[in-house]
């Protein structure tokens, strides 16, 4: 039998990508999708490209989803709700499930459970955490960096964080570099959400490339904490993000100085990365420079690297909506439910997008 899947924050881009993945998943089936602003409305109306697969599915209210989760012995709960909303919403649903004796598994794609303390979260987002007592039940990491499961639920890192961690954690864990990491990242417009704003409005972004929040992006503390949890090293990440005139995709370049006494060639560096990710079905290390078109709409991340004997550069590309959000969340949920990690996620990129 398939496990019922529930989605919070049902009208955004990440929710749409979750729906696209779930309708084809062999072991999960969509049982409910929450939109308090559009209960009873057709889900296909919000996502016309998914209409052939969604049938008569409609959005439900929080009350309806609460009643549903209380009747399901086990369920897969994905939250694509906004930051600052997700934590309290998840908490209320888990409280109802606990009273009913049901056991949902949660993957939160918002930032609400990515930090280990409420104080660390508030320092970044400048408001109180919505359910501080629930933080202990979550762990934040990319699937490739945490082989065991020390918590009931998972907070999936952000899209920029996922790409940066995939590129930088092996360098820190293998003690190849000094702990100052320079990151230049480029992202597509879907990373900013569905509501048009100056930074994502097409006439502003078209045929242009520009940086924003240089050295002060909110993902920096998240990246630092996740990297330290895996590598044991609290590195200094100097991150400069850029907006690109594309809809989907992330490209990061991570640079660092080789640690004292370390010498490594480009070929040796790539072999180190391959060995580090040898048990990771969605990470591929290439001989050539990775390209966004080769991963867009897939759950794969492509890396490559080079060394000049003094400095290392690692490049990583992934799809921000898939591997950086919905796909990574499904990958985590597969593990929470005891399914093969790759289940429902092996479709390759379409290319020529």
The Cα–Cα gap between 210 and 311 comes to 25
Residue-wise DSSP of 115-173: SSSHHHHHHHHSS--S-GGGGGGEEE--GGG--S--SSEEEPPPHHHHHHHHHHHHHHH
Among 32, 159, 56, residue whose Cα is nearest residue 104: 32
Q: How many residues appear in the chain?
A: 353
**What are the angstrom distances between the C-alpha of 5 and each of 38, 83, 111, 303, 327?**
19, 21, 21, 31, 14
Determine which one of 140, 159, 226, 316 is catalytic.
159
From the list 325, 33, 31, the residue with the least C-alpha distance to 43 is 33
Rounded CA separation 38/114 (Å): 28
Rounded-to-integer distance, Cα 140 and Cα 155, Å: 5
Q: How far does Cα 26 stand from its chain's mean position?
A: 21
Is 140 one of the annotated active-site residues of the chain?
A: no
Q: How far is CA 120 from CA 10, 221, 265, in A?
A: 27, 9, 39
Give whole-number Cα distances, 279 to 145, 196, 232, 331, 337, in Å. 10, 39, 21, 14, 19
Euclidean distance between CA atoms 218 and 160, whole angstroms: 10
Alpha helices in 196-253 (DSSP H): 202-205, 219-231
Query: So which residues are the catalytic ones?
Result: 159
């Amino acid at each position: 039998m398939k496990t019922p899947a529930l989605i919070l924050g049902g009208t955004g881009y990440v929710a749409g990508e979750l729906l696209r993945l779930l309708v084809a998943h062999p072991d999960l089936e969509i049982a409910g999708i929450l939109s308090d602003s559009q209960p009873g409305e057709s889900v296909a109306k919000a996502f016309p490209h998914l209409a052939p697969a969604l049938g008569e599915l409609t959005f439900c209210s929080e009350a309806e989803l609460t009643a549903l989760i209380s009747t399901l012995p086990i369920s897969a709960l994905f939250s694509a709700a906004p930051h600052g909303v997700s934590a309290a919403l998840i908490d209320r649903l888990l409280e109802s499930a606990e009273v009913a004796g049901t056991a949902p598994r949660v993957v939160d794609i918002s930032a609400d459970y990515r930090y280990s303390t409420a104080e660390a979260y508030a320092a970044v987002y400048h408001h109180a955490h919505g359910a501080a007592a629930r933080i202990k039940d979550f762990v934040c990491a990319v699937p490739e960096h945490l082989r065991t499961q020390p918590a009931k639920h998972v907070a999936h890192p952000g899209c920029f964080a996922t790409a940066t961690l995939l590129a930088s954690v092996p360098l820190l864990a293998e003690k190849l570099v000094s702990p100052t990491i320079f990151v230049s990242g480029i992202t597509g417009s879907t990373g900013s959400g569905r509501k048009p704003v100056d930074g994502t409005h097409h006439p502003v972004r078209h045929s242009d490339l520009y940086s924003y929040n240089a050295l002060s992006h909110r993902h920096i503390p998240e990246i630092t904490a996740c990297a330290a949890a895996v590598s044991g090293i609290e590195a200094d990440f100097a991150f400069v993000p850029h907006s690109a005139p594309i809809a989907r995709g992330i490209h990061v370049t991570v640079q660092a100085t080789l640690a004292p006494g370390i010498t490594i060639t480009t070929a040796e560096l790539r072999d180190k990365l391959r060995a580090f990710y040898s048990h990771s079905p969605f990470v591929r290390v290439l001989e050539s420079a990775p390209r966004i078109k080769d991963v867009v709409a897939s759950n794969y991340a492509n890396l490559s690297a080079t060394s000049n004997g003094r400095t290392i550069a690692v490049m990583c590309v992934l799809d921000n909506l898939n591997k950086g959000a919905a796909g990574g969340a499904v990958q985590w949920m597969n593990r929470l439910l005891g399914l093969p990690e790759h289940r429902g996620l092996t479709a390759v990129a379409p290319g020529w997008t």
